[in-house]
Structure 1
Amino acid sequence: MSIAGKLGVAGAAEEAHLLGLSAIQIFAKSPRSWKTRSLKAGEVEGFRARKENLGGLPTVIHASYLVNLAAEGELWEKSVFSLADDLAKAQMLGIEYVVVHPGSGPAEKARIGALKARELAGLGRNGPWLLLENTAGGGEKLGANLHTLAELVEGTSLGVCFDTCHAFAAGYNLAEALEALEQTVGLQRVPVIHLNDSVGERGSQIDHHANLMEGKIGEELMDFVLDPRLKDKIFIMETPRGTLEDAHNLRILRGWLGLT
């Protein structure tokens, strides 16, 4: 959901209501800039009120695409600060989850960066849950291998966000990926699913999302969504936006769930 407009974050909750959604994801600032965004007067109260009126409306903040928690020097410092800013905003807004790509470089550096961002945001045990997202792979990008992702969060308060397009592009069959998640990370640490079809073929390492049933994953997605182990998870579609696209994707998903 977009936070553009005079209502800001509260406007995203308003749009969710109009679309009949039960969960949303937002960017708390531009995803392709280091510039932070201050919350406007009344924005926090407006969002919290709408969220409550919509039955809680579980919400996810997606961190900036520029963040690289495994980087060195100034880039690492900027990344940690940017992520800490998102976590602090989530805390103020009563948002439950913040999702971030681990980055490219040493796994231990990414793990330290994630934990440092939580510390800078001043989060306690009851603060928003920071989730590391699996990736499509390529180069030194972390998170394409689910075993590596499990090692990143092991022994920490961090969780995992699982993206279907990224897993497919990394070479996984979704049924096999779910088994791997359960055996390595543990599904109790995977509260959020990004439900996306893939423009690229399996194993292509192409991070390009498609509308449901219009990409290369197809029926595999439906079987994944209907797996009973995922019935309590929060599903977020990062599919192309637009009136027709939204209607198509919601119709497909609601049809799978028997809600139409």
Structure 2
Amino acid sequence: MKYGFHMSIAGKLGIAGAAQEAELLGLGAVQIFAKSPRSWKTRNLKPGEVEGFRARKENLGGLPTVIHASYLVNLAAEGELGQKSVFSLADDLAKAQALGAQYVVVHPGSGSAQTARANALRALELAQLSQSGPRLLLENTAGGGEKLGARLDTLAQMIEGTRLGVCFDTCHAFAAGYHLEEALDGLERLVGLERVPVIHLNDSVGERGAQIDHHANLMEGRIGPELRRFALDARLRDKVFILETPRGAQEDAHNLRVLREWLAHP
């Protein structure tokens, strides 16, 4: 299993600093935002930032890298919001290509599944990615309102016949009402696990089915022992696991200790 945290890119080293922090923590993967997740404003890569990140990435044996798209992106929107969303996502895909990141993760948004699918493919076209470029993954959501992606069958329909894949979030699935073993069986049957390269491993503050997207530290939330069983399922052995748990020295130490104990004593 390759695992890591969602890292900050703040600081003098920028994105390269995320790889440095991953090395210090002994991580085998990393997730970042390529720009502010709550602004439409893009962020130019600093001089030397790409080279610095790629060099550290290579020194760490490749360091699987995920870029998470802006929270403002709504692929299911039309009009101006839809256009802004496509261009913002295309910018993240282009940055992923430049940095050698393997994946870009985005929430589908609220509205029409057909529009979300079309806009996702349009973003890929604008980024001018080849088949060997970063893979765009639609993330399952906690649901609520018109938010897409809470149901696995909807995600399966959205990616059918496309280059798109899925990023599976344990907290979101739990919040949407799934038991994780049931969800994993559903992913295998409806989506195909070869199209689910990235797992967001998070506990949940809210109860099952509460539709609350609020992550907790491993084994300090409401999911319980099924989270461990899910993480250790042999079908997920080759996946990239990203912890989007609360960050801080104590929190990081706790989450790494829990995960490493699981791996040491499966």
Sort the TM-score into its range (normalised by shorter chain). over 0.9
What is the alpha-carbon distance in structure 2 between the residues aligned to residue 163 and residue 16 of structure 1? 21
Q: 1:198 aligns with which of 198, 204, 215?
A: 204
Give the AA of the match of 1:218: G
* 1:72 positional shift: 1.5
Residue of structure 2 equivalent to 1:121: 127
Give TM-score, length-normalised by structure 1: 0.99
Instruction: Map 1:124-135 to 2 at 5 A.
Output: 124-135=130-141
Residue by residue over 1:110-158, the C-alpha shift from the partner in whole angstroms, topping out at 9 and shown as x without a partner, is: 0001000000001011110000000000011000000000000000000
**Is 2:92 aligned against 1:48?**
no
What is the alpha-carbon distance in structure 1 between the residues aligned to residue 136 and residue 89 of structure 2? 10
| Structure possessing the higher relative contact order (Cα contacts under 8 Å, 6 or more residues apart) | 2
What is the alpha-carbon distance in structure 1 between the residues aligned to residue 9 and residue 209 of structure 2? 34
Residue of structure 2 equivalent to 1:81: 87
What is the alpha-carbon distance in structure 1 between the residues aligned to residue 160 and residue 47 of structure 2? 39
Q: 1:149 aligns with which of 151, 155, 162?
A: 155
**Is 2:11 aligned against 1:29?**
no
**Is 2:243 aligned against 1:237?**
yes
Give the AA of the match of 2:125: E
**Is 2:111 aligned against 1:105?**
yes
What is the alpha-carbon distance in structure 2 between the residues aligned to residue 181 and residue 82 of structure 1? 28
C-alpha root-mean-square deviation of aligned residues, in Å?
0.9
Give the AA of the match of 2:89: L
Residue of structure 1 equivalent to 2:175: 169
Tell me the secondary structure at the aligned position of residue 167 of structure 1.
helix
What is the alpha-carbon distance in structure 2 between the residues aligned to residue 124 and residue 188 of structure 1? 19
Residue by residue over 1:2-56, the C-alpha shift from the partner in whole angstroms, topping out at 9 and shown as x without a partner, is: 1111111100000000000000100000001101000000001000000000010
**Is 2:43 aligned against 1:14?**
no
Residue by residue over 1:143-194, the C-alpha shift from the partner in whole angstroms, topping out at 9 and shown as x without a partner, is: 0000000000000000000000000000000000000000000000000000
* 1:104 positional shift: 0.3
What is the alpha-carbon distance in structure 1 between the residues aligned to residue 61 and residue 224 of structure 2? 32
What is the alpha-carbon distance in structure 1 between the residues aligned to residue 102 and residue 46 of structure 2? 20
Tell me the secondary structure at the aligned position of residue 98 of structure 1.
strand
Tell me the secondary structure at the aligned position of residue 67 of structure 2.
strand
* 1:237 positional shift: 0.2
Runs (4+) of structure 1 exceeding 6 A deviation are none
Residue of structure 1 equivalent to 2:222: 216
Residue of structure 2 equivalent to 1:65: 71
Long gaps (5+) in structure 1: none
**Is 2:184 aligned against 1:178?**
yes
Give the AA of the match of 1:124: S
* 1:100 positional shift: 0.1
Residue of structure 2 equivalent to 1:95: 101
Total equivalences in the alignment: 260
What is the alpha-carbon distance in structure 2 between the residues aligned to residue 34 and residue 182 of structure 1? 35
Tell me the secondary structure at the aligned position of residue 236 of structure 1.
strand
Tell me the secondary structure at the aligned position of residue 257 of structure 1.
helix
Residue of structure 1 equivalent to 2:263: 257
Give TM-score, length-normalised by structure 2: 0.97
Give the AA of the match of 2:145: G
Give the AA of the match of 2:44: S
Give the AA of the match of 1:36: T
What is the alpha-carbon distance in structure 1 between the residues aligned to residue 211 and residue 36 of structure 2? 25
Give the AA of the match of 1:216: R
Give the AA of the match of 2:48: G
Residue by residue over 1:43-100, the C-alpha shift from the partner in whole angstroms, topping out at 9 and shown as x without a partner, is: 0100000000001000000000000000121000000000000000000010000000
Tell me the secondary structure at the aligned position of residue 264 of structure 2.
coil
